[in-house]
Structure 1
Amino acid sequence: MNFRFALAVIILALAGCSNPNTPAGHEGYVFENPRVFGTGGFRGELQGPSNYGVSLWRNEVINIDVRPATYTEAFQILANDDLNISFNFHAVLSIHPGSIKTVVDRFGGTHWYQRFVKEAFRTYVRNTVQKFDSGALKANREVIANEVTEKMQEYLSGTPFKLTKVVVGNIDYPQIVATAVEKKLAAQQLLAEKETQKQIAQKDAEIRIEEAKGIAQAQKIINATLTPNYLQHEAINAQLKMAESPNHTTVYIPVGTNGMPLVKNTQ
């Protein structure tokens, strides 16, 4: 009878044995979860990869990733000019090594981000973004990220959590703003084209002015050379050429000024 009882105790003890283990990049919070024997509570910490070892007690482990990870929050915030802007913020966070017991006991264990960090992060982002007009947000990405980083690092000071950096993601304006931007760009392009056309017209006008000056100068030179004797000489030469033509039917009467002929067509 004693043998059977001892065997039953051994079987029951073995059934309650456990060997908690923690993977790489994680830290484990080992605690006892008693069924028949034991008092329960914290048993120790594990730094992965490792295991706690086989124990007669009912030990379990809460494993938490302590490596840097990116936590993203989506926002729709009214900017300083009351325009609703949509964008994402990314925070790179990690847990200081050797602080897993504090994380579980004080900050919600695996839910530490949701319980302790998330709302503070979102509050700092909203308060910072609302200082800027919508049109200035993209130009001040770095300023906004730096301010949120400083506030978050101050908030997390003295806790097991470390903020590496904050990054401002895509900024999306309402469709009406996007349409207005497109129209503005189109207007700027049209204005640039008009300015180019204006410059071309000015150059064309300058060319015409220079051409007119050339024509006027040529006329001035021609008028200066058209003396009565020169015109008479040219008229006589023209008459000689016509007279030498066998088929001409024109009669020249030299009764004009300075002997210039009056021309009459006999056809």
Structure 2
Amino acid sequence: MKPRNSGMQNLINNLVKGTVLVGVVGFGLTACTNPSTPAGEEGYVYEKPRVFGEGGYQGTMKGPANYGVSLLRNEVVNIDMRPNTYTEKFRILANDDLNIQFDFHAVIGIQSGSVKTVVEEYGAENWYKRFVRETFRTYVRDIVQKYDSGELKTNREKIAKEVSLRLQSYLSTTPFKLANVVVGDINYPAIVANAVEKKLAAQQLLAEKETQKEIARKDAEIRVEEAKGIAQAQKIINATLTANYLQHEAINAQAKMAESPNHTTVYIPVGNNGVPLVKGAN
């Protein structure tokens, strides 16, 4: 004869088995992951530690890619491997103790296939802040402070090259590759900017004066040449005014006057060398 509580015991056992089964299924569903990596990035796949197992590094992948569905608690750290521009703003005392504001831009990429090293040795997504930023800023300050404020704009390419060479050397044994360094806008204090504007205005005015002076000089040269031409013409005319020529011109003039209706009487005394002397009627 069976005990009275045997039915109750069976019910309890079934409930426990069902609860365990649901728990196992639920755990399996929540533990499944499918890490993915977008284009241009590389993924570092790792397993989160659980009650059992050690977790840790599982593998890498180049985007776009999926690691695949797994019952393990796999996750991914994605690192952008493409060159990106990192901008730093500065306010630095130049060599002449003038406070200058400007930007510096560094274009840095990451060597393909190095995502594991970047994550495990250089701080993963924070690699720039942890490993590059302060060194980059130190190089800029050291080099800029060697120049007077007025020399910065004219030497910006030289400054960028000096910073670039030092930063390349620093990154040479790392996965990070420097593509370019550029000096951005350089801003002087207002008092300096005003002084520069006044200087430029004075230079422009001086240039205008020089132009006016050159125009006046050219005008004077033209007048001299005109005077020379007049003097030369007079010299030629004087050389051709012979007595015969003057007599001929006087006769022609008298002939025209005689034909003119404005003259009623004409006296023609004969002067030296037969040149007529002309006198109009009263």
Shorter-chain TM range is 0.7 to 0.9
2:180 matched residue in structure 1: 165
Of 199, 224, 248, the match for 2:264:
248
Q: Aligned partners of 1:19, 1:150: CA distance in 2, in Å?
A: 43
CA offsets per residue over residues 161-201 of structure 1, 9 Å max, x none?
22122233455666436634752663365256326514531
Percent identity of paired positions between Structure 1 and Structure 2: 48
State yes or no: 1:214 paired with 2:232: yes
> Deviation at 1:82?
5.3
Answer with 157-166 or 53-62: which moved more.
53-62
Aligned length: 262
For residue 194 of structure 1, what is the aligned residue in structure 2? Answer: 212
1:15 alignment partner, SS class: helix
Instruction: List aligned pairs for 1:1-267, cutoff 5 A.
Output: 1=13, 3-7=17-21, 8-34=23-49, 37-38=51-52, 42-49=56-63, 50-80=65-95, 86-134=101-149, 136-171=151-186, 175-176=193-194, 179-180=197-198, 182-183=200-201, 186-187=204-205, 190-191=208-209, 193-194=211-212, 196-198=214-216, 200-222=218-240, 225=242, 227=243, 247-251=263-267, 267=282
Alignment partner of 1:167: what SS?
strand
Q: What is the letter of the counterpart of residue 45 of structure 1?
A: G
- Cα deviation, 1:193-229, whole Å, max 9, x if unaligned, reads 3265145314413421331332341243145x2x4x7
TM-score normalised by length of structure 2: 0.71
Root-mean-square deviation (Å): 3.8
Letter in 2 for 1:71: Y
Structure 2: gaps of 5 or more residues: 1-12
Q: Secondary structure at the match of 2:155?
A: helix
Query: Once the 2 structures are TM-superposed, how far is the Cα of residue 89 of structure 1 from its aligned partner?
Result: 2.9
Taking structure 1 as the reference length, the TM-score comes to 0.74
Task: Give the letter aligned to residue 231 of structure 2.
Answer: K
